Amino acid sequence: MQTVKEAVEIHIPGVPPSLLMSWIVWGILLTLSLAASRKISMVPNRLQNLVEFGFQQVFQLAEDVIGHEAKRFYPLFLGLFFYIFFANLLGLFPGLSSPTANINTPAALAVFVFIYYQTLGFKKHGIAYLKHFIVPGLPWWLTPVNILIFIIEVISHFVRPLSLSIRLFGNLFAKETLLGVLSSLLITFLGLHGGIKLLTLMPLVLRPVIILLGVLIGLVQALIFLILTMIYIGSAVKSEH
């Protein structure tokens, strides 16, 4: 059964909704980037100040997690964070939905992160990167233990894309569903008359609260995805491996 939100959602025939919404997100990011960088000054305006603040927080977080090598990955981290954050917020607007509420988008992001950090690990350390999956220095007679640890580590690494994507998708899908249900209830409320409306004020009261909660969820989930990505990349490129 379609909710009111789904029924009025913008769509283009032949274009998957999540892809269309991703295009809209990138369009918004491009517009904001051009607007913020068009007149850069030593005394920044509000938009430039807001963008610089976001950049600084991402940069500082990367430095704290990865260290001096973090600068190499600034573009990746900025792209991931701002795309996910704005994609999460998009579903709060009428006629739009969050592309991250479709499992395909979080899954694609998670698989990309998985392949990227594994490639970085092998590129920097070569075959020695596999030492990351065992406990070095154990005596030979504990080889079965190291084999078991290796298997567990490999499984845990392959589970990472699943956990990354499901966590992001689950929270955003729940938010989208709740907003859709509240929209339907709100339409029903506006169609009622007289004293019955007094008994059905809850959807009208809850919707602004859910929207604020949606903004918070969008920010937190973008940060979680970003921090986990930083941790995975940091563990792959650190010299001690």
Other CB atoms closer than 10 Å to residue 191's CB: what's the count?
Answer: 8
Query: Which two structure tokens, joined as six digits, stand for 170?
Result: 């689950």
Query: Which two structure tokens, joined as six digits, stand for 236?
Result: 């792959």
Distance (Å, whole) CA 147 – CA 135: 10
pLDDT reported for residue 241: 41
Distance (Å, whole) CA 192 – CA 205: 16
Query: What is the mean predicted confidence (pLDDT) over 55-71?
Result: 89
Cα within 13 Å of Cα(110), Cβ side: 21
Q: Where are the domains of the chain?
A: 4-237
Percent pLDDT > 90 in the chain is 27
Query: What is the mean predicted confidence (pLDDT) over 48-62?
Result: 86
Give the pLDDT confidence of 7-35 residue by residue, as tens digits: 456 777 778 888 889 999 999 999 888 87
Q: Enumerate the H helices of 67-127 as residue ranges.
A: 74-90, 104-125
Which of the pair, 131 or 18, is modelled with greater confidence? 18
